Amino acid sequence: MMMFLFMLYCVSAMGLFIYGVNCYVLVHRFRRHRQKGMERLENIRRTFREKLDQEIPTVTIQLPVYNEPWVVGRLIQAVSRIQWPREKLDIQILDDSTDEATAIIKEHLVHFQAEGITISHLHRTNREGFKAGALKAGLMVAKGEFIAIFDADFVPNPDFLHQTVPFFTDEKVGMVQTRWSHLNEDYSLLTRTQAVGIDRHFAVEQSARCWAGFFLNFNGTGGVWRRKAIEQAGGWEADTLTEDLDLSYRAQLRGWKMEYLPDVDVPSEIPADVSAFKSQQRRWAKGSIQTARKLIPRVLSADLPVFTKVQAVIHLTHYLIHPLMMLIALTSVPLLSFQNSLWSALSFAPAIMLLCLATAGPSMLYMTAQRVLHKNWVRRIVRIPALMILGTGLAVSNTLAIVEACIGTANDFVRTPKHNIVGTIRQAQPRSRAVSLDSVLMLEVSMAIYCVSGLAYALQAEQYMISPFLFLYALGFLLMVGSSTSAVLSSWWDRPSSVRIEKAPNRIDDSECAYRQAIRNFDSPPFKQIL
């Protein structure tokens, strides 16, 4: 039995090592290609913008909304300011809401239609297909050759289309994705920590994949699709929770190119509480594994370079790091007694080394992203340990999501709530429904007790090889338990937790105030070239 646990521990360490080493690969590709990649973007803009001006295409902007009363007005205000000929712009509000968001949308619809903006409201009475279903329904009546998509918490800049559409003069480009930036990074330690993780993906990973010729993904918002690419790839499908990742891969398997613009950003809102963050990550974890099960056979059978296939598999299965971390945590404690002999101690050394290399890989990605985006990157990298603890704490929730994806549990699209947060201020909101003591929290409590007990035993027995990892897991699970318990308790009392940004006489003025507050307080970090 002990040998089986040891082998399971080593296999899990090897799995984490593979994902960790791939971080080094992406950093290497990023550094190798970044100068030529950035020069290429500027050359395309300079060469193709004149050609674009000769024949401006019609663009449809789709705004999928579900119960977003605090941010939908701000979104409409931002999109109405996008600079594009009005006769060539078609705005769709894809509304699945069941709350006051629909009334807010209707007021804005009347206001902006009176100003001559082409904007329509498609209100579905059911959520069939969730976001994918809404996008599919909107596409059926869309007028545009190109489809831009923004989630409710995004605030696109007026020049967004002028920055992105020129890249479609290459007939092989099917999608252009831009970088996410953060409206509310400074709201709390949680949002500051998440910002580092998001920067890693958008500053380094997406750039490296694009420039190296690997598959990359549409991130669900802040991007533009060629309508023909969507249709040829089979359209939006709702059999996974990550319809954006699914469509991206199907389009690339059909030969369409994906373009990524790290120097064009769209401000957005980071989940402001742990429960929202966990539900978002759980949805992404389940959806990505569903997409992996669906598309990896097609990837492996496609006429692609072997290394491109390897990168695609690692990309699609990235969330497997969480069950691997769970296995490491669960097997570490019984294996503590196995370290007594010299042979067993020496046999653990390779596995521990693999774990150390795997842990350092993501840290290098984080540091590279902060160095590229921020002048004060040295001060910002102190957030990396907090991010590692936060990511470790997600292991229970995301592992359960992956198990659901593997056994085919029915999908339930849980939206990430947005609260119109800018900086450290957010709109007032009514009391939310009570948060329940669910099975995930109970498992997190169990894992926290298990890891703390194992750590205490390891320190008492002076067995230090596994102790650092048990310490990390214990902190992560304790963080989740503490944060989730706090959310449960606070939901049982009706106490104000926010302030109003500005008081306005009506909803139109209110949303305009929110929009101006966003652009006034937001300072986007430039994407620099660190040579």
- The residues annotated with a catalytic role in the active site are 96, 244
**123 is written with which tokens?**
């209100």
Beta strands 119-123 and 89-95 are: parallel
Strands 173-182, 257-268: pairing kind = parallel
Beta strands in 3-96 (DSSP E): 59-65, 89-95
DSSP-H helix ranges across 302-341:
306-316, 321-335
For residue 175, the one-letter residue type is M
3-state helix, strand, coil split of the chain in percent (to 5) is 60, 10, 30
- Judged by phi (left if over 0) then psi (alpha if -120 to 50, else beta), residue 423 lies in left
Task: In whole angstroms, give the CA distance from residue 407 to residue 211.
Answer: 36
353: left (phi over 0), alpha (psi -120 to 50) or beta: alpha
* Rounded-to-integer distance, Cα 49 and Cα 67, Å: 38
CA–CA gap between residue 213 and residue 299 (Å, rounded): 15
Q: Where are the beta strands (DSSP E) in 403-481?
A: 421-422, 425-426
